[in-house]
Amino acid sequence: MSVVVPECCDDLKRERGRCLFNKEELTNILDGGPKLTEKRRRIEKMLINTPELFDDVSPDYLSHEDRYSNELRKATQLMTTLEKNGFTYNDAVTTGTGLWLLMDGNPLSLHISMFLDTIKGQSNPQQLQEWLPLAEKFKIIGTYAQTELGHGTFVRGLETTATYDSTTKEFVLHSPTITATKWWPGALGKTSNHAVVMAQLYLGGKCYGPHIFMVQLRDLETHRTLPGIVVGEIGPRLGMNSNDNGFLQFNHHRIPLTNMFMKHSQVTEDGKYVKPLHSKLSYGTMVQTRVGIVYHASRELSRALIIAIRYSAVRHQSEMVPGDPEPQILDYQTQQYKLLPHLASFFALRFSARALLEVFIGTSAGLGSGKMNMLPELHALSSGLKAVATNDAVKGTDICRLACGGHGYLSSSNLPRIYTAIAAGITYEGENTVLFLQVARYLIKSFRASSQGQTLPFSVSYLRVQPPSSHAPLMSDRGLVDALGAGVRWMVGEAERRLQQLVDSGHSPHAAWNACSVHLVQCADAHTRYYICEQFVDAVSKLGETVSSGVHEVLRQLCRLYILHRVIQTAGILLRCGAVDGKALTSIEEEECHLLATLRIQAVSIVDAIDIKDVFLKSTLGAWDGNVYQRIYEEAQKSPLNKSDVTQGYYQYLRPLMKANL
Ligand SMILES: CCCCC/C=C\C/C=C\C/C=C\CC/C=C/C(=O)SCCNC(=O)CCNC(=O)[C@H](O)C(C)(C)COP(=O)(O)OP(=O)(O)OC[C@H]1O[C@@H](n2cnc3c(N)ncnc32)[C@H](O)[C@@H]1OP(=O)(O)O
Ligand SMILES: Cc1cc2nc3c(=O)[nH]c(=O)nc-3n(C[C@H](O)[C@H](O)[C@H](O)COP(=O)(O)OP(=O)(O)OC[C@H]3O[C@@H](n4cnc5c(N)ncnc54)[C@H](O)[C@@H]3O)c2cc1C
């Protein structure tokens, strides 16, 4: 398949003609620099030149089994294509190409993310030497098997046991109840022959909590399930049905002592336990994946935005002025209000994902030299950002679908598939409410620490009891972000006051926590969004000195829109704490509407700069050329029901009904 850039329709030509900034420069910023753009494009070109990676028939028309096989065919082809051309899977993960864009659940994605990451992050040197080359070369294929039928969120409540038998120097893995059945892991059902398994470690009758074990599930020659193991697929789901999410039970299954991941905690041959430096180090793969999900969510949101914004420039509907030609629906202010704040969110998330990655890299480097002090901050930031990014991507993607009217409901728009895939992100890798409650715990702890005069880590330093007063004018970006910060400080202070009041009136701290948890989740959400605003303002101001004025202006406008929108969403809190007044809010609302009209002019060019090619968008509505109606019509012709004029169903059911004497 070669990349032919088709001539675009007149509407899109006109839109693109209004572009006042250098698109390539904006693309480079989004990629993280020209070198990364170039690398991404090299990978994409290679993928585009591999026709086997593209579906001839939509997965919707395949049986469950064929759909899985087809996805496995593409996934294996993708891996060999990357390998042959000198790229690593990590290149494809970090540039966002191929892995998810091409796929409908990719049965090898857990292998190249959580399985490999666990091997890299949890192995001692011997284990690393043994397992990493095998996994990197796909000699063993694995997944991350943690969640059980009975417990996903509460990792400490997992029931699978790993009991050490010092006589044979083995662990005995067992699923004592039906609820101990591992349930959900991607690629567990039929693809994986290994899994990293989270199980309760038992030594001499004492439980030491969840630990991770490398477990072979299937024979490496026959792929048959090993004795003592039951494994299968869990059946259809809301989305990503080309994957084989699975279940797994152990019946006193034995593995060697050396199969417990021993980088952080160890078990000696005689059954002694060596504690890790921090009790949550074994949760490291989850933290790393949450970091990746922030980027992934922003990418999926951007695909939906490209589709909806291009379509909105091509679609004409109704009369704005009686008798005038039907306008592009993007001219309606309500349509701009649906889409453009989400476009701003995409940029905000992209910059925040990058900032989070830096925290992750810095913290990981610290862990290497035994420094654990950044771990709580990383946990809070990655939890909050994963939750906000997936919540916003899901909401934004659905709004994009709605903004495309009826055609957004077509599978061929690709919006349903993007939506159902990212919708899982709210639940997997830590359910969002639960993650927000982890953030809230950090906020309350920090607030209390500050009252006792302690210095706070950077992401929460604005919560200190006596913050310096903001000198920035309220209506400046900085002034409004400071107002948002004041709002969060007020919310957290209020939550702390309510918690204390409940405890003082006789409630246990845990009961008080639950009684305040709606408010606590709001605190965590507001804190994370304040952090995102800070990252966005920071990134734009840093870029200011290095980019052309056109690009800077677009970024400044998007950042402004993000902040204004956030202030309006938080109006109630900001009024209550006196950070803004009614007059300021009125002018903010007016400015937002004005900004929508300004950004509308270059909206198509902005989404063009995100630079996702048609073959990855896979949408009849969002293609570069805007040839929407022809594409929709052609896709419909591929329906198997259109293979014959009269279907079997007519003879089997309709005709007998019509002939019956009712
Ligand atoms: C960068 C590259 C990445 C590559 C990937 C790229 C993209 C990804 C795209 C798509 C994803 C693809 C596939 C995803 C497939 C999905 C997989 C899964 O879903 S795997 C299963 C995930 N499961 C979870 O996330 C479970 C969530 N639950 C938990 O994490 C814990 O149970 C919970 C809720 C944190 C509670 O833990 P618990 O042990 O009970 O602790 P406490 O609540 O008692 O808290 C005690 C203290 O520990 C702190 N804590 C907790 N977790 C951590 C942590 N991870 N790190 C540091 N600290 C932690 C907690 O804050 C408490 O501290 P204090 O006592 O308050 O000081
Ligand atoms: C598509 C998909 C792929 C997945 N892939 C994997 C995988 O590869 N490996 C793997 O191990 N797992 C995987 N999972 C499982 C996933 O990690 C869990 O579903 C997730 O952690 C949520 O746990 P749960 O299902 O037990 O939900 P629950 O915890 O039962 O959540 C149900 C409700 O209870 C609420 N709740 C729970 N605890 C609390 C609390 N403490 N406070 C307040 N409210 C609470 C939640 O907010 C939610 O509203 C996958 C899941 C999906 C959907």
Q: What pLDDT is recorded for position 545? A: 79
Name the pairing type of β-strands 182-183 and 142-145.
unpaired
CA of 372 from ligand 1 middle (Å) equals 16
Determine the average pLDDT of the residues in 6-33: 95
Q: Is 658 left (phi over 0), alpha (psi -120 to 50) or beta?
A: alpha
634 catalytic? Reply is no
Determine the average pLDDT of the residues in 449-476: 88
CB 144 near ligand 2, within 6 Å: yes
- Tell me the average pLDDT of the chain: 95
Determine the average pLDDT of the residues in 269-291: 96
Under DSSP, the state recorded for 178 is G
Name the pairing type of β-strands 273-274 and 182-183.
unpaired
CA distance 252 to 242: 31
Give yes or no for a contact between 185 and 144, defined as CB atoms under 8 angstroms apart. yes
- Look-up: residue for tokens 């159902």? 420
Tokens linked to 275: 């504690």
CA distance 191 to 521: 38
Closest-lying ligand 1 atom to the alpha carbon of residue 289: 3
CA of 393 from ligand 1 middle (Å) equals 20
CA distance 43 to 36: 11
Q: What pLDDT is recorded for position 102? A: 74
Look up the ipTM and state it: 0.98
pTM listed for this prediction: 0.97
The amino acid present at 216, given as its one-letter code, is Q
Q: What sign for the dihedral angle of Cα 648, 649, 652, 655?
A: negative
In this predicted structure, the answer to whether residue 1 has a pLDDT above a threshold of 60 is: no
Q: Judging by beta carbons within 10 Å of its beta carbon (0-12, 13-18, 19+), is residue 279 exposed, middle or buried?
A: exposed
Give yes or no for a contact between 6 and 627, defined as CB atoms under 8 angstroms apart. yes
Q: Judging by beta carbons within 10 Å of its beta carbon (0-12, 13-18, 19+), is residue 572 exposed, middle or buried?
A: exposed
Give yes or no for a contact between 282 and 122, defined as CB atoms under 8 angstroms apart. yes
CA of 430 from ligand 1 middle (Å) equals 6
- Look-up: residue for tokens 């997965």? 59
Tokens linked to 110: 């857990």
517-536 pLDDT per residue, tens: 999 999 999 999 999 999 99
Q: Please state which of the ranges 34-48, 58-72, 152-166, 464-478 shows the lowest mean pLDDT.
A: 464-478
Q: Which CATH class is domain 144-276?
A: mainly beta
Residue 471, phi then psi, degrees to nearest 5: -95, -10
CB 437 near ligand 2, within 6 Å: yes
In this predicted structure, the answer to whether residue 4 has a pLDDT above a threshold of 60 is: no
CA distance 398 to 408: 9
Determine the average pLDDT of the residues in 81-94: 87
Tokens linked to 44: 């994409």
Give yes or no for a contact between 46 and 85, defined as CB atoms under 8 angstroms apart. yes
CB 300 near ligand 1, within 6 Å: no
| Domain chopping of the chain, boundaries | 24-106, 144-276, 285-608
CA distance 421 to 436: 21
26-70 pLDDT per residue, tens: 999 999 999 999 999 999 999 999 999 888 789 999 999 999 999
Tell me the percentage of the chain whose pLDDT exceeds 90.
93
Q: What pLDDT is recorded for position 91? A: 85
Q: What pLDDT is recorded for position 35? A: 95
Name the pairing type of β-strands 206-216 and 194-203.
antiparallel
Q: Whose CA is nearest to atom 23 of ligand 2?
A: 152
Judged by DSSP in three states, 224 sits in coil
Probe residue for ligand 2, chosen from 179, 390, 428 as the CB with the greatest number of ligand atoms within 8 Å = 428
Give yes or no for a contact between 625 and 9, defined as CB atoms under 8 angstroms apart. yes
User: Any known ligand binding at 147?
Assistant: yes
Residue 267, phi then psi, degrees to nearest 5: -120, 130
108-144 pLDDT per residue, tens: 999 999 999 999 999 999 999 999 999 999 999 999 9
Q: What pLDDT is recorded for position 375? A: 95
In this predicted structure, the answer to whether residue 90 has a pLDDT above a threshold of 90 is: no
User: Any known ligand binding at 157?
Assistant: no
Determine the average pLDDT of the residues in 159-175: 98
Query: How many residues in the chain?
Result: 662
| Closest-CA residue to 599 (of 20, 4, 95) | 20
635-658 pLDDT per residue, tens: 999 999 999 999 999 999 999 999
In this predicted structure, the answer to whether residue 346 has a pLDDT above a threshold of 90 is: yes
Probe residue for ligand 1, chosen from 155, 431, 499 as the CB with the greatest number of ligand atoms within 8 Å = 155
CA of 380 from ligand 1 middle (Å) equals 10
Q: What pLDDT is recorded for position 99? A: 66
In this predicted structure, the answer to whether residue 77 has a pLDDT above a threshold of 70 is: yes
Q: What pLDDT is recorded for position 471? A: 82
Q: Which of the residues 25, 71, 429, 496 is marked catalytic?
A: 429
390-434 pLDDT per residue, tens: 999 999 999 999 999 999 999 999 999 999 999 999 999 999 999
CA distances from 20 to 62, 252, 286 (A): 45, 67, 42
In this predicted structure, the answer to whether residue 466 has a pLDDT above a threshold of 80 is: no
- Contact partners, residue 422, CB within 8 Å, separation at least 6: 297, 300, 301, 390, 393, 394, 397
445-460 pLDDT per residue, tens: 999 999 999 999 999 9
CA distance 484 to 473: 14
Q: What pLDDT is recorded for position 5? A: 58
The CATH code for residues 24-106 is: 1.10.540.10
Q: What pLDDT is recorded for position 189? A: 98
Determine the average pLDDT of the residues in 169-178: 98
The CATH code for residues 285-608 is: 1.20.140.10
Q: What are the DSSP E strand ranges found in 413-544?
A: none
**Ligand nearest to the Cα of 291, by number:** 1
